[in-house]
Amino acid sequence: MTLNPIVTGLSPEEHIKRLELALESSNLGIWDWDLRTQSVHFDKRWCSMLGLEHESTPMHLSTWQDRVHPDDLEACFADINAYLQGKTPIYENIHRMRHANGEWIYILDRGLLSGWDAEGQPIRFTGTHRDVTASEKARLLLENQSRIFAKMIRFLPLAVVMLDTQLNFLVASQHWLKEHQRTEPELKSAAFPSFFPDTGRDWNSVAQQVLAGATLSQDREWAKRTDGTPAWYRWACLPWTLEEGSVGGLIFVCEDISEMVAVQERLTSESRLSAIGQMAGSLAHEINNPLAIIRANAEVLLMQEAQKKLTPERLEKATRSIIKTTQRIERIVKALRTISHGSMQTKLQLTLLDEAILETAELCTDRFRHQGILLDLDLALLHQRPGRIDLAQFSQIILNLLNNAHDAVQNLPDKWVKVSAELSSDHMQIIVQDSGHGIPQDIRDKIMTPFFTTKEVGAGTGLGLSLSQTYAKNHGGTLRYQEREGHTSFVLTLPLSLFEAS
């Protein structure tokens, strides 16, 4: 569509009238500058924007120049000269002007040459004048908020980096720069994800998921620092949004938790040793009793051989007894080795769950028997059922629950502990239940808290249930307290995906 059909046949007066209507609807003022005399014609809208009376306003360049903010005037003339010298296709500048009421308003000024003399030299410069105070203040406010936000990020006590939707660097915290031994100029020129932790993870895939609206995180992940040394990191990646709600980019937060992991490993080791220490006395019986049996059988064999009374039947019977007894010692030592060599790093391997529980229970058998506590292992559902578990962590969970159950019922008239399993469509549950009558309501929410204990000083670390809960989460499962049939129960729930059909 062209203007010709619209303007054809209009008189000059009608052309002017229509132009006036267009300018008025656009809220534009007009100025016309005679470059020879420095006189400028300002129309009524130009004057009204500044609170001036058109009739009394001097039609001279100084009327405009004297009202431009001193800090903006140099840039105005720089843009005018750049246009007059042919460096830009149009003159355009936003500057502040003083209103008649003393306030400063923002003006969008645009202009083009509109007249030349006989020699081709420009003599007239014509343009528009528009009040953009509202939009400019909003822009400046947004820029100021962005600067404040960037400053906040820079001084955060965590390693934080902010990227746009093209994964270009925007800002990073000083902690990030120090930790990754980079400067902001280096990051601005670096390609994503070269400045992210070297974990072996596909950071491009993470970024695309986050830009699509997801929030991703990892509580603990191994990585190499910039200097090549190993480290543990905790990280989170989330989208940041623009004012209208669309995703503007992503924010990545990471924390070097190597020291914390080292402390956790030490506390874990202490907790394991504490759990074993609680049964140290009974473990001596667990091993000494079988050793006594072996010794007795050996002495009988020697005596019968000396008396020439050793028969093949007696030899076979004694030998079988010795083998059976050494196998029990082997299971006890194996369980001790499994638990003592555990780690916070989860390593899943195919294991028979019933055997794992039986081996762990071997550590408690004599202790339970000495206190007259009945230990019932109802493991038929787990028989020959392999599962992908971390054997050390799983064994530690069972040992902690058995120890707690022992301590809870040892002074009760009716003393029993039962370990059983239940299967559903999507998970396996292992239940350790005892004859206790439940945990008081006021401490149920605290029992999984690190260092919380109801035992006497020196009787426990307060870490057993907390670490057991962490180990359960490491397997994608949960550990929770539950009162069943009026008795204390702890339920270890593991996803069925860890198990294979027998």
Distance CA 206, CA 170 (A): 18
Is the pLDDT at 15 greater than 50? The verdict is no
- Tell me how far CA of residue 464 lies from CA of 64, 445, 449, in angstroms: 79, 15, 10
Number of residues that make up the chain: 502
pLDDT at 199: 82
Non-local (6+) Cβ contacts of 366 within 8 A are 282, 283, 285, 286, 289
Q: pLDDT by residue (tens digit) across 337-353?
A: 655 555 556 778 888 88
233/460: higher pLDDT: 233
Non-local (6+) Cβ contacts of 138 within 8 A are none
Distance CA 175, CA 152 (A): 12
The pLDDT of 388-397, averaged and rounded, is 84
Distance CA 39, CA 318 (A): 126
**What's CA 452's distance to the chain center, in Å?**
27
Q: pLDDT by residue (tens digit) across 491-501?
A: 999 998 888 65
Residue in the structure block whose two tokens are 């660097």:
169
The DSSP bridge pattern shows strands 416-423 and 374-377 to be parallel
Domains of the chain: 4-131 (3.30.450.20), 138-256 (3.30.450.20), 263-498 (3.30.565.10)
Distance CA 109, CA 130 (A): 7
Distance CA 179, CA 256 (A): 9
Structure token digits, residue 265 = 């490993």
Is the pLDDT at 311 greater than 80? The verdict is no
Q: pLDDT by residue (tens digit) across 463-477?
A: 667 778 888 888 889
**What's CA 169's distance to the chain center, in Å?**
19
Q: pLDDT by residue (tens digit) across 42-71?
A: 999 999 999 999 999 999 999 999 999 999
For the whole prediction, is pTM greater than 0.85?
Answer: no
Distance CA 250, CA 167 (A): 8
The pLDDT of 119-147, averaged and rounded, is 85
Is the pLDDT at 283 greater than 70? The verdict is no
Report the 3 state secondary structure along 179-222: HCCCCHHHHHHCCCCCCCCECCCCHHHHHHHHHCCCCEEEEEEE
Distance CA 220, CA 232 (A): 6
Residues forming beta bridges with residue 162, ordered by sequence position: 171, 251
Mean model confidence pLDDT for the chain: 80
Distance CA 218, CA 192 (A): 20
80-84, 140-144, 170-174: range with lowest mean pLDDT: 140-144
Residue in the structure block whose two tokens are 């209103």:
99
